Amino acid sequence: MPVVPLERLPLPSLRVYSFVSVVALSACTYYAAQIIKEPNWNYPGDFDKNDDNFENRNGTDSDGRTVSQFVSDIFTVMTREPVCVWTMINMAFCWFILLGRAVQKLVFGDLRVSEQQQLRDKFWNFVFYKFIFVFGIINVQYIDEVLLWCSWFSLLGFLHLLSQLSKDRFEYLSFSPRTPFWSHVKLMALLAAIFALSGFMFVVSIFVGFFGGLNTFFFMFYEVLLLAIRTLHVIIRYAFHLYDVRNETTPPTATDDNRTLDKRGPVSYYVELTFDLTALIIDLIHHLHMLLWSNIFLSMASLVICMQLRFLFHEIQRKYKKHRNYLWVRNHLEQNYPMATKAELQENSDNCAICWENMDAARKLPCGHLFHNTCLLSWLEQDTSCPTCRMTLNIQNPSVANMEPPELQTDPQENTRRPFNHFFHFDGSRYVSWLPSFSVEVSHVQAIRQNHMATNSQLDAMARQVQTLFPHIPLSTIIEDLRVTRSVELTVENVLDGRLIAPPMFRDLDIDWTPDRNTFTLNSEPEPSARNWDEYNTENVETEDTAALGSRFSKSSTEREKILHKRKEHMIKQARKRYIEKQKAAAVVAKSELQS
Amino acid sequence: MAGSALRRLMAEYKQLTLNPPEGIIAGPINEENFFEWEALITGPEGTCFEGGVFPAKLVFPPDYPLSPPKMQFTCEMFHPNIYSDGRVCISILHAPGDDPMGYESSAERWSPVQSVEKILLSVVSMLAEPNDESGANVDAAKMWRENRIEFNKIAEKIVRRTLGIPT
Ligand SMILES: [Zn+2]
Ligand SMILES: [Zn+2]
């Protein structure tokens, strides 16, 4: 497959790039300063060429020209010279990247591998679509226009990526019970800032639209709106989550009132649905507008847009069907299964089998099993049987079933998987002669995981190659890394640089892995009885501290981790000891049998 | 979603720590991500996997327990119901909707009433009694049926590797 491995392109490091940018800008300034000195500028001054700092703005130089005048002169010269213009744009771009890096360092710290992957995908996706937009739809003719659109989209893309990153990070943080308070505050502040900036960009789009026409305004407006909606969605989900987590710490008596705001409750369901649908519909309108406005139905650009339209349409359809199913199941639930009475609740002292939490109110299925209303609803949406006894409930949505019988039977995940893999061969010369051609495979993480199942044999082969070099690292760890790097060389590099280490269990035990451990050859294998088991001395397994370890569930998460690790170590040591002792005993028996 | 999943996982972790089933340890390796656990499973006695301690990774979906976790052995395994990359193929880990093999009745599939403990106990019994109808590892299934002695030798090798004893 002609996939360009983007991460392997020889991109310079940020430091080198910033340095080069600054040097280039200085050179241009110097050049401009020299131009001003020339006679046709009528200012034969002999001031320093790098005297363009803004400190003594009000001071005058030897010719009576103010520094600000001097700066503006230099600026005029530079805007006339294409090379200088590009250098300045480059510098602005550099600042932008530095700003992004600063925000990343401040709010996110180090990015996780999946976040990087997601970011990279989003970035190239965005670049691709905006490229299509600028050169295929708007069909700009002048370099100024290109520049204006580019700067607009850089800012927009930057905010979109930040918003996406915040969403990923929020989802990750919600996976952990011990997220520090400050990470929440920082992330929330960033989200609020993005939201505020989208307001600012809305003002800009009105301003530009005032001069550029209604279409331009709308093209800018859709994107701003999308950004605002997505950001707000994350903010609201975040707020719900924080509320939810806070409930966990409050005493259980308070939770039943708050249950309405539970992540599975109807409020959050409708919020999710509204945001998802609105974003999709706006995106759909945006693409339709582009298609109708561009008037080029038989081009690469319209093809791409049609693909995207199809995808959006399917998504909306899927959401709609899911929602109808939800409504149907909910109605069915309310009409056919009554809430459990107080007596029934008291009789049944068990917790809800779905969430393992206490039940203050519950719905009763015909088989007599009780569950929380929201828990039951979210389960019945995907399956129509009692979770406990598997009794089939007579829930069938006739309207949906008649409309699309095959759609309902397929796994709901199946539908989401399909559209997530875009493969673009990108022939840049179709648009502008100097553009390169390349292919990009934009696949989302979910799709990547699916792909791996198919290419496992390939990965296996690669992993074995790596393992012959580093036999102490387990195959699974190597495969994991190969999934990210997709190259033997890079994984080897990772191992050498210490980025890829054997998981603690394997490390501590210092297992003597044989390189050919994957080929199950049984020749010249010494029989267990023939081995000298005495050379394996069983180390003393401390039993006293395990008594302290067992049957305790610490409140501190670091302590829990430590205890778990110790318990595991102890278990392996014990098993090892038992195994060796057993083999020794067997050897003794075999020997005595031989002698007799 | 993640909030309620987190609470349930915490409850399961607590239960597994306070009342661990014989020969089974499970819990999140790093609590920064509570949705990724490591489990150690001791090979059941009286079987070819006896004595071994097999590490496996469990990855939970954000909507757990509505969807089942994914389980993958991180040590080498040779078993009719375990893929060569370590993924475990047992009915309890399959969502009611999907049925890759087409032989399971929905009663054995995933439901939110199942738990990590039940999964791990099922895996233990799977180690003891492979189901050679499922074709997760065809070679292993064939060897299990036709050449039990060799299968046992390979299992013995794997057991020793998990214990850090040279084979
Ligand atoms: Zn419940
Ligand atoms: Zn029931």
Per DSSP, what are the bridge partners of residue B25? B40
Choose from B40, B49, B57, B106 for mutation: most chain A CBs within 10 A.
B40
Average pLDDT, chain A: 74
Written as six digits, the tokens of A228 are: 């605002």
- Which residue from A84, A283, A570, A172 is spatially nearest to B36, judged by alpha carbons? A172
Mean pLDDT of A443-464: 52
C-alpha to C-alpha distance for A25 and A136, rounded to whole angstroms = 32
CA pair distance B34, B38, nearest whole angstrom? 11
Q: Lowest-pLDDT range, A103-107, A251-255, B29-33, B88-92?
A: A251-255
Average pLDDT value for residue range A486-490: 71
Q: For residue B89, indicate whether it is catalytic.
A: yes
Pick from A152, A29, A14: nearest CA to A88: A29
Alpha helix ranges (H) inside A357-515: 373-380, 398-403, 405-409, 412-417, 445-454, 456-469, 475-485, 488-496, 504-509
- Summarize pLDDT for A173-185 with one digit per residue, the tens: 888 877 788 888 9
Segment A47-99, tens digit of pLDDT: 444 444 444 444 444 455 677 888 888 888 777 778 888 888 888 888 888 98
pLDDT given at position B106: 60
Residue of B nearest to A552 (CA): B18
* Distance (Å) from CA A169 to ligand 2 centroid: 38
Question: Across the strands, what pairs with A66?
Answer: A60
DSSP β-bridge partners for residue A457 = none
What pLDDT, on a 0 to 100 scale, did the predictor assign at position A501? 61
- Does residue A545 register a pLDDT over 70? no
The pLDDT-based confidence of B71 (bands split at 50, 70, 90) is very high
pLDDT at position A67 is 79
State the average pLDDT over residues A214-223.
Answer: 89
The pLDDT assigned to A397 comes to 60
* Contact across the interface for B31 and A505, Cβ inside 8 Å: no
Residues listed for chain A = 596
- Our CA angle for A309, A223, A107, nearest 5°, is 120
Backbone angles phi, psi at A20, to 5 degrees: -60, -40
What's the pLDDT at A281?
A: 94
**What average pLDDT does chain B have?**
86
What is the band of A40 on the pLDDT scale with cuts at 50, 70, 90?
A: low
CA atoms of A572 and A514, how far apart (whole Å): 20
Classify each residue of A302-319 as buried b or exposed e, where b means 16 or more C-beta atoms within 10 Å of its C-beta.
bebbeebbebbeebbebe
Instruction: Compute the half-sphere exposure of residue B43: CA atoms within 13 Å on the CB side of its CA.
Output: 29
Percent of chain A at pLDDT > 70 equals: 67
Contact status of A209 with chain B (Cβ, < 8 Å): no
User: Among A459, A464, A462, A438, which residue's Cα sits nearest to residue A449?
Assistant: A459
Task: State how far residue A547 is from chain B, nearest Cα, in angstroms.
Answer: 12
Contact B54, B128 (CB under 8 A): no
pLDDT of residue A10: 57
- pLDDT (tens digit, 9 = 90+) per residue, A523-532? 334 444 455 6
Taking contacts as CB-CB distances below 8 angstroms, the residues of chain A near B12 are 356
In the block, tokens 């974003």 appear at A279
| A557 vs B75, residue with greater confidence | B75
Rounded to an integer, what is the distance from CA A421 to the centroid of its chain?
16
- Are the C-beta atoms of residues B69 and B123 closer than 8 Å to each other? no
Which band of pLDDT confidence, cut at 50, 70 and 90, is reported for residue A248?
Answer: low
* CB interface of A with B, residues 519-558, below 8 Å: 520, 522, 525, 528, 536, 550-553, 557-558
> pLDDT (tens digit, 9 = 90+) per residue, A123-163?
999 998 888 888 887 777 787 788 888 888 989 999 999 99
CB contact under 8 A, B62 and A513: no
Q: What percent of chain A is modeled with pLDDT above 90?
A: 14
Shortest CA distance from B155: residue in chain A: A520
Per annotation, catalytic residue among B89, B116, B120, B143: B89
A175–B106 CB contact, under 8 Å: no
SS3 A385: strand
Q: Residue A535 — pLDDT band, cuts 50, 70, 90? A: low
What ligand is nearest to the CA atom of residue A391? 2
Indicate the burial class of A11 (C-beta count within 10 angstroms; 0-12, 13-18, 19 or more).
exposed
